[in-house]
Amino acid sequence: MSRRVLVLNGPNLGRLGSREPDVYGSTSYGGLVDQCQSFGAKLGFEVEVRETNDEGELIGWLHEAADARTPVVLNPGAFTHYSYGLRDAAAQRTAPLIEVHISNPYAREAFRHESVVAPVATGTIAGFGLTSYLLALQAIAEGSSQEDTSSR
């Protein structure tokens, strides 16, 4: 039986491939979905990838994950820098929550240097392109196997 993982994406991430390819790469959002689901399956995960431009919808998905004790890979997009509602929803996590970013926020504009989500996340992975998502899934898998070992 595979374990479920949610990969949640905030605003503008559905435009991957056409949005600033010099920053975010040329792979489409569909390509990201395929990569996450394929790599997740190799790790024994059923990966569901979602994207929204709506802050309230993203917060609702985090509540859903907390209620079901579902691990989350979260790219909050621009909400990273100012959404205290999203931060408060992430703080309610009951399973690992890994914040990811395709680019390195610290190598960009100053307003991108602050994350209100990072302090309540299990960890943050940034700057490795779409591989950031795969590293996050790997981190969740590693954490799961450590939990399995420590509970014996």
- pLDDT at position 142: 92
* Structure-model confidence comparison of residues 54 and 28, the more confident one: 54
CATH label of the domain that carries residue 36: 3.40.50.9100
Residue 93 marked in a binding site: no
- HSE-CB for 147 with a 13 A CA cutoff: 8
- pLDDT at position 34: 96
- pLDDT at position 79: 85
Q: What is the pLDDT of residues 34-86, one digit of tens each?
A: 999 999 999 999 999 999 999 999 999 999 999 999 999 999 988 888 899 99
**Range in 7-11, 27-31, 63-67, 94-98 with the lowest mean pLDDT:** 27-31
Residue 88 marked in a binding site: yes
Beta strand 72-75 with 45-51 is unpaired
- pLDDT at position 82: 80
Measuring CA to CA, how many Å separate 49 from each of 22, 33, 150? 23, 6, 29
**CA-to-CA distance for 51 and 66, rounded, in angstroms?**
18
Residue 81 marked in a binding site: yes
pLDDT greater than 50 at residue 1:
no
Active site residues: 24, 101
Question: How many domains in the chain?
Answer: 1
Residue 63 marked in a binding site: no
Domain span at residue 94 reads 3-150
- pLDDT at position 26: 60
